[in-house]
Amino acid sequence: MPIFEYRCDNPDCPSHSGHYDRLQRLGDDTAAPCPQCGQPGTRQISAPAIATGGAHLMKESHFSNHGFTQYKRLEKGVYEKTAGKGPAIISDPGD
The pLDDT assigned to 95 comes to 55
Q: What is the full per-residue pLDDT of the chain (95 aa) written as tens digits?
A: 688 888 888 888 876 677 888 888 878 877 788 888 888 888 888 777 776 777 666 777 777 888 888 888 998 889 999 888 889 998 887 75
For residues 34 and 12, give the distance between their C-alpha atoms in angstroms, rounded to a whole number: 12
Q: Kindly give the pairing relationship between strand 78-83 and strand 89-91.
A: antiparallel
Segment holding 62, helix H or strand E: helix 60-65
Report the predicted TM-score, pTM, of the whole model to 2 decimal places. Answer: 0.46
For residues 41 and 88, give the distance between their C-alpha atoms in angstroms, rounded to a whole number: 58
